[in-house]
Amino acid sequence: MDSLALTSLPGLWDRALASQPAPERWVVFATLVAALAVVVPRGVWRTARNAITIAHEGGHGLVALLTGRTLTGIRLHSDTSGLTVSRGKPYGLGMILTAAAGYTAPPLLGLGGAALLAAGHVTLLLWLATALLVAMLLMIRNAYGVLTVVVTGGLFLLVSWLAGPQVQGAFGYAVVWFLLVGGVRPAFELQAKRRREGVGDSDADQLSQLTQVPAALWLFLFHTVSLCALMGGGRWLLET
């Protein structure tokens, strides 16, 4: 395929939907081990958690838009916290879904990514991730957030355009394993924080105020979604 075909719209579409062979089994397990090595140690996790925060706040923002709210901005902070601000009714289903989307977004994105990898769509996974990051960049309202999203999006873009199929495959599996494994830890961190500090302004506490359902039940939902996504997505990845 020549360069003109690759840069034309049909050529790009064909490239995005093309299936790539699954990497060797050792690559699948190696990327799982790499994800665990990033998520489990506290020191490494403190930095890597920024990527989970991008997915977390992006989930809030996307669901806010889908439920008819007006997204006014997203901020990402160096302590791996974030803030998504939207306008609309401060109650009702849209607000509830928006508040619930944060902790569930990373594992659900990982599950969707695992489905794409199981179908052999590595390039499509990388391009969709890049498109979501570009869309999110438009709503970032602080310098650290812009830097974080630009670096992350640039990495996806470079791998998807310049790397060979084997490197793309390994990168795609590493990213999805990270989302699946890393999507589990924040709910446990929130549970530990609430045990130490009591009621706060976390997503679970906000959902409790919105629904009169105890925050512990919302935490249980976050745990259930993340663990089920890890089991389901992990099974797809290990069976490829």
Reported as a single tens digit per residue, the pLDDT across 75-129 is 999 999 999 999 999 999 999 999 999 999 999 999 999 999 999 999 999 999 9
Tokens, residue 192: 């530990």
Cα atoms in the 13 Å half-sphere on the side-chain side of 51: 27
Residues of the chain with pLDDT under 70: 1-18
pTM exceeding 0.95: no
Alpha-carbon distance values, 63 to 81, 123, 210 (Å):
19, 25, 16
Alpha-carbon distance values, 133 to 57, 153, 158, 195, 237 (Å):
11, 6, 14, 34, 24
> What is the structure's pLDDT at 201?
87
Cβ atoms of 84 and 64 within 8 Å: the answer is yes
User: Measured between alpha carbons, how far is 34 from 79 in angstroms, rounded to an integer?
Assistant: 23
Tokens, residue 165: 């199929």
> What is the structure's pLDDT at 197?
84
Which sequence spans correspond to the domains of the chain? 21-239
> What is the structure's pLDDT at 178?
98
